[in-house]
Chain A
Amino acid sequence: MGNEAIAMGAIAAGVGLVCGYPGTPSTEVLETVAKHRPEDCYVEWSINEKTAMEVAAGAAYAGTRVLVTMKQMGLNVASDPLMCVEYVGVKGGMVVLVADDPGPISSQTEQDTRTFARFSKVPCFDPSTAQEAYDMVQEAFELSEKYGTPVFVRPTTRVSHGYADIEVKDPEEYTKHTPEGFIKDTKKWVIFPRASFLNHQRIEKRNQELTKELSASPFNRIEPESESTVGCGFGIACGGISYTYAMEARKELGDVKLLKVGTPFPFPEELALDFLEGLDQVLCIEELDPVIERELTYICNKYGMNVWIRGKVEGYTPNAGENTVDSVKKVMARFLGKDLKTPVAPQLPPLPVRPPVLCAGCPHRASFYAVKKAMAGKKTLYCGDIGCYTLGNAMPLDMVDTCLCMGAGLGIAQGVFHTEPDTNCFAFVGDSTFFASAIPSVINGLFNQADFTLVVLDNSTTAMTGHQPHPGTGRTMMGKTVPAVSIEGVLKGVGLTCVETVDPLDHEAAVACVKRVAAEKGVKAIIFRSPCIAVSKPSGKCAVDADACIGCRTCIDEIGCPALFFADDRAVIDEAQCTGCGLCSQICPVCAIAPAGKEARHE
């Protein structure tokens, strides 16, 4: 996997500290390092990306080679320390691995870390393949140390989650790196306006020089044209996964001259000049922002070259979403004026839509359902947040009115309260999200006299991103069991007086708890505690007594469990999916569903 290649590349480069916060498609990088961890390498899941960046900075100040990992949204959280570290500089090599997600497939936005690189002035590598990712990470450490700057490595989903056989180094060939330790020097390590002015000048000069140096990098290159296309005046410029699509298309459309950009910032300007020489038109093929396109346009202007740079800006290629093998082939054919043999698309019958849903047995379903029942008929607002529980938005639960970014639900609930104080505002937040970014907003609400109910959905894991531990689980990535941080303790500690914990799978108790807590004034909290099915053992299977079932569909229409369906006018439970959570057995009006290991309660 591309992410595994990045991890192995970092290990080969002698990385001594790896930290980050999970986020698709970046997560497997840190997990792989932890799995193959060399003795002298420290690994942690940090509480969020900002803290991870700061932990990494500290270690890099002390001369350790560090890798910090996150998804593109995570970079927003980490940007405050990163922008400053770029000015202050590092001693040990610092690679910031940020995975972008064109599509987007599992993200809230389609932001482009290459654009962030230009904004933050941090050099950026953009791998096209797993092999290149492996090689680039090692090169990124070298560059980082040579210039004392953090360096981005920015794969996209298809590179991060693509597999390929790659050449790796033998452990004897790994770089050995012994950190020197932190050397006190306030002029260097304390950021001040005057020093920042000088550092700014230094950084701009360095990046200008890098446009030359990187022109010679093997990651930036010109794929030569074949005899049949020499002098045709057309060229293709691309990077990332789109490079592999373009190379595939060249097999069919002819080997036009092609510029592959592996370091979108600083841009390999001299190489680009070579490429542009003799061309009339260039088609830029890239996902997300028109980064290569703007750079080439700028270079043409700077050197007075008359080459038409085409791509997203004029709407020739799409400005949102993923590229595919086929979309790239199509646009290249159009650009080159060639006909394509396109396969006739079969006329498919109507297919079921299949949005993602909460698993059968997911405790979040029971939590949402309890709140829904308890608050029926009242004026309510349900602020959701980021995690598996975002899926509580789907019918029939329909319990997520807003969702923005991690931890935002608490602030949104407060804002709505200040506008319409008669609304019962709820903010749902997962346990990992609680630790990552909800705590300051709890304190904000308390201090500023807001009135809302915080609902912590504590499923003992960071489920959405693949079940990572967090402070509430008491397990670290170094394999240690440590005292878990108590969510109740945090809430009571900051001054909440109404904090109740309840098992959402006990429906009656859960509804009663919600009614009690919602009636209180100020900021109050409910903690729904029940583990995600992926980190607990199933308690058996529920079963419908077909003779007792009256076919009323209550279970199906109320909770939307994927293990429940309707056949021959009766509810049926799919055994492969059922975990025996028993929620359906508690809501059947005629008690026709037997909870795991028990008889149905009907008469």
Chain B
Amino acid sequence: MNKNIILCGVGGQGTVLASRLISAAAMKEGLPVQSAETIGMAQRGGSVFSHIRIGEGVNTPMIGLGQADLVLGFELGETVRQLPYLKEGGKVIAADRAVMPVTASLAGGYDPSVMKEYLTANVPDLTIVEVEEAFKELGSSKVLNLLLLGSALHTGSLGLSKQSVLSAIQENVPPKFLDLNLKAVQFYK
């Protein structure tokens, strides 16, 4: 199996953990993995992304334009930003969530519905994930990353088994948050 996955969002949304969980799950299945993450200044509310490449014969962790099988978007505007990387026929899973940059708040904000319309019109294989419900039910808004991971797992777009993702979570998430995270990843059935 060969898979190129891009995770994207806004610094602080938890893309880094989600990316590490996917890599750990792939390793559990004995697959070679390479990945790269944004760490540093951008983690303070800037645009962030992770590239993950699973499979044999990969030279570099960075994914080229038009090469991603899956874009997992944590924020609508950021999802659109990464579309040039999506390959023809690739899948997009996007959280129905907009994070207003402070600059946009000052200038009157940007319109998330424009992004949603753009995605709907341009990505045939699109899943928009409604997360507000889940936040309410789980009593936490800090599980966006695990919800999206769950959605990707559930739609079969990771190419990884539920078993390996669950055990990756068990090994990588602090015990205090384990229960909540396991619930979140299995929220979409």
Q: Are A356 and B141 in contact (CB under 8 A)?
A: no
Of B102-110, B145-153, B158-166, B168-176, the segment with at least 4 beta carbons within 8 Å of chain A is B102-110
Distance in Å: Cβ of A107 to nearest Cβ of chain B? 9
Q: Mark B104-139, 1 if CB is under 8 A from A, else 0.
A: 111001100011001000100000000000000000
Residue interface mask B89-112, A partner, CB < 8 A = 1: 000000000011111111001100
Asked whether A357 and B45 contact (CB < 8 A) given A345-B84, A576-B141, the answer is: yes
Given A163-B33, A164-B61: A24 and B41 interface contact (C-beta under 8 Å): yes
The answer on a CB contact under 8 Å between B101 and A158 is no
In whole angstroms, how far apart are the Cα atoms of A358 and B27 in the complex?
36
Partner of A395, one of B11, B66, B103: B103
**What's the Cα separation between A163 and B46 when bound, in Å?**
22
The answer to whether A25 touches B39, judged by C-beta atoms less than 8 angstroms apart, is yes
Chain A residues with CB under 8 Å of B183's CB are none
Contact B35 A105 (CB under 8 A): no
Shortest CB-to-CB span from A219 to chain B, Å, is 16
Inter-subunit contact B37/A161 (CB<8 Å): yes
Contact yes or no, A346 B41, CB < 8 A: no
* Residue of B27, B41, B46 contacting most chain A CB atoms (<10 Å): B41
Contacts A351-B110, A353-B101, A354-B101 known; list 9 others, CB within 8 Å.
Answer: A248-B64, A251-B59, A324-B64, A343-B66, A345-B65, A396-B106, A557-B106, A565-B105, A566-B109
In the complex with contacts A162-B61, A248-B60, A345-B84, A356-B11 CB distance below 8 A:
yes
Q: B138: shortest Cβ distance to chain A, in Å?
A: 13
Q: Does B42 contact A (CB under 8 A)?
A: yes
Q: Mark B54-67, 1 if CB is under 8 A from A, else 0.
A: 00000111111110
Instruction: Report the count of interface residues on B (CB-CB < 8 A).
Output: 54
**Is B23 an interface residue, CB under 8 A from the partner?**
yes
Q: Mark A550-566, 1 if CB is under 8 A from B, else 0.
A: 00000011001110111
With A105-B40, A356-B45 known as contacts, the answer to whether A163 contacts B23 (CB < 8 A) is yes
Contact of A484 with B by CB under 8 A? no
Query: Which residue of B36, B64, B66, B104 is within 8 Å of A161 (Cβ)?
Result: B36
Which residue from chain A places its CB closest to the CB of B43 in the assembled complex? A356
- Distance from B104 Cβ to chain A, minimum over Cβ atoms (Å): 5
- Which A residues touch B11, using CB under 8 A? 356
CB distance from A260 to the nearest CB of B (A): 12
Q: Which residue of A lies closest to B37 (CB)?
A: A161
Q: Tell me, rounded to whole Å, the shortest Cβ–Cβ distance linking A487 to chain B.
A: 24
Q: Is B73 an interface residue (CB 8 A)?
A: no
**Residue A376 is within 8 A (CB to CB) of chain B in the complex:** no
Chosen A-B contacts, 7 in total, with CB atoms closer than 8 Å, are: A164-B34, A343-B66, A354-B101, A356-B44, A357-B101, A359-B12, A464-B41
Contact B33 A325 (CB under 8 A): no
Shortest Cβ distance from residue A28 to the other chain B in the assembled complex, whole angstroms: 8
Indicate if the CB atoms of A244 and B59 lie closer than 8 Å. yes
Which of A24, A163, A354, A464 lies in contact with B61, CB distance below 8 A? A163
Asked if residues A354 and B45 are in contact (CB atoms below 8 Å), the reply is yes
- A245, A356, A358: most-surrounded residue (chain B CB, <10 A): A356
- Given A158-B62, A325-B63, A346-B83, are A354 and B34 also a contact pair (CB < 8 Å)? no
A352 contacts B by Cβ under 8 Å: yes
Within the assembled complex, what's the spacing in Å between the Cα atoms of A350 and B114?
10
Say yes or no: is B142 at the interface (Cβ < 8 Å to chain A): yes
Q: Does A165 contact B (CB under 8 A)?
A: yes
Closest A residue by C-beta to B114: A349
CB distance from A564 to the nearest CB of B (A): 7
A residues 568-582 touching B (CB-CB < 8 Å): 575-576
Chain A residues, Cβ within 8 Å of B40:
24-25, 105-106, 157
- Give chain A residues whose Cβ lies under 8 Å from the Cβ of B88: 343
| Cα distance A324–B66 in the bound complex, in angstroms | 14
Contact of B10 among A343, A351, A354 (CB under 8 A): A354
- A388 interface contact, C-beta 8 A: yes
Residues 456-471 (chain A) with a chain B CB within 8 angstroms: 464, 466
Whether A163 contacts B35 by the Cβ 8 Å rule is yes
B180 interface residue, CB < 8 Å from A? no
User: Does residue A183 face the partner (Cβ distance < 8 Å to B)?
Assistant: no
Chain B residue nearest to A463 (CB atoms) is: B44
Q: How far is the CB of B51 from chain A (nearest CB, A)?
A: 9
Is the CB–CB distance between B104 and A343 below 8 Å? no
- A247 lies within 8 A of chain B by Cβ: yes
Residues of A contacting B78 with CB < 8 Å? 354
Contact in complex: B32, A351 (CB < 8 Å): no
Point out the residues of chain B lying under 8 angstroms from A464, CB to CB: 41
Closest 10 CB pairs of A and B: A343-B66, A106-B40, A244-B60, A576-B141, A325-B64, A356-B44, A356-B46, A24-B40, A247-B59, A163-B35
C-alpha spacing A105/B88, complex, angstroms: 30
CB atoms of A357 and B33 under 8 A apart = no
Asked if B33 and A329 make an inter-chain contact with CB atoms under 8 angstroms apart, the answer reads no
In the bound assembly, the distance between CA atoms of A346 and B87 in angstroms comes to 11
Q: Report which of B45, B65, B80 forms a contact with A359, defined as CB distance below 8 A.
A: B45
Q: Which residue of A lies closest to B100 (CB)?
A: A565
Judged by a CB distance under 8 angstroms, whether A171 is at the interface is no
B47 contacts chain A at the CB level, 8 A cutoff:
yes
Q: Are B33 and A164 in contact (CB under 8 A)?
A: yes
Whether A358 pairs with B59 at a CB distance below 8 angstroms is no
Q: Does A348 contact B (CB under 8 A)?
A: yes
Partner of A348, one of B46, B63, B81: B81
If A164-B61, A325-B63, A575-B141 touch, does A353 touch B103 (CB 8 Å cutoff)? yes
Is A162 within 8 A of B34, CB to CB?
Answer: yes
A209 at the interface (CB under 8 A from B): no
Interfacial chain A residues near B35, Cβ < 8 Å:
162-164
Residues of A within 8 A of B37 (CB): 161, 163
B27 proximity list for chain A (CB < 8 A): 165
B122 contacts which chain A residues (CB < 8 A)? 346
Q: How far is the CA of A245 from the CA of B67 in the complex (A)?
A: 14
Question: Closest residue of chain B to A23, judged by CB?
Answer: B40
* Closest A residue, CB atoms, query B40: A106
Closest-CB distance, B145 to chain A (whole angstroms): 13
Asked if A324 and B62 sit within 8 Å, CB to CB, the answer is yes
A251 contacts which chain B residues (CB < 8 A)?
A: 59
* Selected contact of A391 from candidates B44, B62, B81, CB within 8 Å: B44
Report if A326 contacts B (CB, 8 A). yes
- Which A residues touch B42, using CB under 8 A? 105-106, 356
Q: Across the interface, do B36 and A163 meet the contact criterion of CB distance under 8 Å?
A: yes
Chain A min CB distance to B68 (Å): 11
Known interface pairs A346-B122, A351-B80; A356-B114 also in contact (CB < 8 Å): no
Interface flags for A202-240 (1: CB within 8 Å of B; 0: not) read: 000000000000000000000000000000000000000
How many Å from the CB of A130 to the closest CB on chain B? 8
Q: Which A residues are in CB contact (< 8 Å) with B39? A: 24-25, 161, 466
B46 touches A556 (CB 8 A): no
* Chain A residues near B81 (CB-CB < 8 A): 348, 351
CB distance from A592 to the nearest CB of B (A): 18
Interchain CA distance A106-B40 in the complex, whole Å: 6
- CB neighbours (8 Å) of B60 from chain A are 241, 244-245, 247-248, 325
